Amino acid sequence: MLTLGQIMTADPMTIGPETTLRDAVEFLSSQRISGVPVVSGGGRILGVVSASDILAFTASLPGMPGDRDDDGWELREASLEDDPYEDSFTGYWEDAGADVVARMQAHGQPEWDLLDEHTVAEIMTRRLHAMAPETGLADAAAHMVQAGIHRLLVVERNRLVGVVSAMDFVKAIARQAATV
């Protein structure tokens, strides 16, 4: 029987609660991960922050269209070639149509400045889901499904020793299938 300790990422990367959301986005992106434990300076686990948490926070913010001289509306005759959705929104932002990554890297944009003004502590998930390294994968998977989570913290003697993500389960199943 496989255990969490056998498939976990040992000594996982962590961030502190004072990390700005901008730095958290850059960290998650550069490490190609979707979430990370948040720990205090003393190593105490405080929570987990995920890309979903940051996205939900960003989605809750009011829109920030750029300055306009007019009311933004223009009457014109529609044709079959028109995309009714495209023109509805592109006039609000100077960089409309730009690659999403390019927009996020444009530090002067209002959306980005808001990420720099808020910290991980404000949005992190504080309800921790943790299990021991010797926990079997079936029990861990059942807990993850029931809780609707994508990662589990692996804890031993109240110390973070690893993280197991849904992708770790996929890799374990693929390895097991390759040996059969």
Per-residue model confidence as pLDDT tens digits over 25-53: 999 999 999 999 999 998 899 999 999 99
Which residue has 């960003």 as its token pair? 58
Please give the sequence-ordered ranges of beta strands (E in DSSP) within 40-145, or none if there are none. 45-50, 130-131
Say what the pTM is: 0.70
One-letter-per-residue 3-state SS of 25-40: HHHHHHHCCCEEEEEC
Reduced to 3 states (helix: H, G, I; strand: E, B; else coil), residue 113 is helix
Q: How far is CA 42 from the centre of its chain?
A: 24
CB 116 within 8 A of CB 20: yes
CB 121 within 8 A of CB 49: no
CA 109, CA 102: separation in Å to the nearest integer?
11
Other Cβ atoms closer than 10 A to 63 = 9
Provide the pLDDT for residue 91. 54
- Segment 83-133, tens digit of pLDDT: 554 554 455 555 555 555 565 565 555 555 789 999 999 999 999 999 999
Q: Structure tokens of 17?
A: 């609660």
